[in-house]
Amino acid sequence: MIKNILGQNVRDEVADNITGGRMHPEKCKLTVEDLDAWYGSKQVIQQVSMGIGAQHITALIGPSGCGKSTFIRCLNRMHEVAEGGRVTGRVFMDGYDIYAPQVDPVAVRRRIGMVFQKASVFPTMSIFGNVASGISLTRFWSRRRDLKDVVERSLRKAALWEEVKDKLDQPGASLSGGQQQRLCIARAIAIEPEVILMDEPCSALDPISTLRIEELMLELKKDYTVVIVTHNMQQAARVSDWTGFMLLGQLVEYAPTKEVFTVPKDKRTEDYITGRFG
Amino acid sequence: MKGRSGYFRRKQFSRLMLVLCGIATACVILVLILILGYTLVNGVSYLSLDFITQPSKPVGEVGGGMRDDIYGTFILVGLASLIALPVGMMTGIFLAAFAGPKAASAIRFAADILAGVPSIIVGVFAYAILVRPMHSYSALSAGVALAIIMIPVVARTAEESLRLVPNSQREAALALGINRWRITLGVIVPGAVTGIVTGIMLAVARIAGETAPLIFTALGSAFGVQGLTQPIGALPLQIYRYALSPYTDWQQQAWAAAFLLVILVLGINVIVRLVSSRRSK
């Protein structure tokens, strides 16, 4: 586990180091310091530092290719899985560096879950099996009886229980697109992470499903820290507490959502938000 | 005007090529129909329950069947599968999920070469490493020879089907904090099972008809199946032997055995098609 690896809590120290004083909310769950990321020799993230508020929804906006997806993949050590993916810098969770050499990336991912743009339901598993997969595939043996409660709780939290409770044994792929995405959220919740990263979770969904997921995010915020990457500025404005604007691999502006959308400090943020970007 | 005639000519050319493609396709199907028809016409008259349930009889005696050779073929295919399935499957999993790009391409190249080695050479190899040291032709050595032919086929088809599982599945599983080997066994392999089974069945169909390596290893047996360290009969071997014999009765039997073998291989292929089409629904 990550806890107690460094033996001391360094969060406060790091938080003080972060520039500008406004780069983090009051209480940070994650603190990113001088993060650089590469694909092969191409640098896609440059010197990003930010604090991510505990039990906040933090939105990252920016044009395609600005590195926002890569950035959140750095937060649960998924970037290094990609071919040529390399990361330097530090990411602290509750003050402990998840990039410290002794830390097992698999353990990090159990505490920082992720939901992808395209609902990636496991097609060979039932609805039940999908939700339980994070648990059943890390244990040697698990009985359905033991998983039942977790599955029900996760599906309820993901606002999917009522729709699927009578067909838990049907294949996960038989659900609609919006339901599949909520199934993925339930699956991510089932392993009880502390942070949930969402990489454009609604970009393939219709407005009604999008609305449901947004309501769900507001619900999840009570228990989890949520980071969402989105193309949709209205969505960021609707759900998030803090918003970061990224451009060409850099974090241009990061402030409470209201400020970003009403009084952006940076000209580039203003241009992007008002649609004069280009 | 020139544009129009050019269009006309292209259209004619397209039609010509379409006809040629059709003829080529017809040739392929025709060959298959001829083989099936020829073995059917010549073999079916001798085929009876006795042919499947009776042991072979010496020259001159009427009747006799190929029970032992059919049994032998199943034993050899079973032996070969017992060796080749684990080895081939694990090689395929290693290639698809764990090997680095350089190692993977080297292994893939080696497997492709192994798949291309003429089967008679595989037979000689098995003869040299098993038959000579053991001083006896044996079912075991034949099983090994067939397994060598089977392994690269199984490994490559397993790899191909594993690679077809979308990367998003792998990432989703990784993001759940699952180990690499559990992801492979719990998510990737189940997603590729149809393709893997298809590959295995095709490999079985291929070795069921192999004759050359058996000449050096199984030899054939006039005394039925006597154990794994003893010579053993097999359908293709018996076809080879009986077809070349001067006795019309044996030649008849060879036809019947040929028909049986074709039906066996065809049956496996049909099962493969049924399984994979049902799974993909």
| Predicted pLDDT at A82 | 85
Residue A271 host element (H or E):
helix A267-273
Q: pLDDT at residue A265 above 70?
A: yes
Amino acid at A83: E
- Residues listed for chain B: 281
Query: What 3-state DSSP class applies to A262?
Result: helix
| B151 vs A: CB within 8 A | no
What's the CA gap between A239 and A230, in Å, rounded? Answer: 11
Residue A90 contacts by C-beta under 8 Å, 6 or more apart in sequence? Answer: A14, A32, A33, A34, A35, A97, A99
The mean pLDDT of B146-174, rounded to a whole number, is 93
What is the least distance, in Å, from the CA of B188 to any CA of chain A? 9
| Beta pairing, strands A28-39 & A42-53 | antiparallel
pLDDT band for B27, please (50, 70, 90 cuts). very high
Verify whether the Cβ–Cβ distance B172 to A81 is below 8 Å.
no
What is d(CA B172, CA B169) in angstroms, rounded to the nearest whole number?
A: 5
Q: How many angstroms separate the CA atoms of B113 and B95, rounded?
A: 16
Say which residue the tokens 């008849």 belong to: B252
State whether B178 and A106 contact (CB < 8 Å). yes
Q: What is the pLDDT of residue B273?
A: 83
Both tokens assigned to A242: 């803090």
Question: Looking at CA atoms only, how far is residue A215 from chain B in angstroms?
Answer: 23
A120·B177 Cβ contact <8 A: no
d(CA A180, CA A120): 8
Global pTM value = 0.79
Whether B87 shows a pLDDT value over 70: the answer reads: yes
Shortest CB distance from B172 goes to which of A106, A116, A191?
A: A116
Question: Cα separations (Å) of B200 from B86, B88, B212?
Answer: 11, 9, 21
pLDDT bracket for residue A3 (50, 70, 90): very low
What is the token pair recorded at B148?
């060598």
| Residues of chain B numbered 172-191 and touching chain A (CB < 8 Å) | 172-179, 182-183, 186-187, 190-191
Q: B154 falls in which pLDDT band (50, 70, 90)?
A: very high
Lowest mean pLDDT among A144-148, B10-14, B148-152: A144-148
**DSSP symbol at A95:** T
Using CA atoms of B55, B60, B63, B67 in order, give the dihedral in degrees to the nearest 10.
Answer: 20
Average pLDDT, chain A: 84
Residue A106 to residue B179, Cβ atoms within 8 A: yes
Q: Average pLDDT, stretch B194-206?
A: 89
Q: What residues pair up with A254 in beta bridges, in sequence order?
A: A244
- Strand pairing category for A195-199 and A242-247: unpaired
Interface test with A, best of B167, B176, B179, B183 (most A CBs within 10 A): B176
| Predicted pLDDT at A277 | 66
Closest partner residue to A122 (CB to CB) among B177, B187, B193 is B187
Select from B166, B171, B186 the Cβ nearest to the Cβ of A137: B186
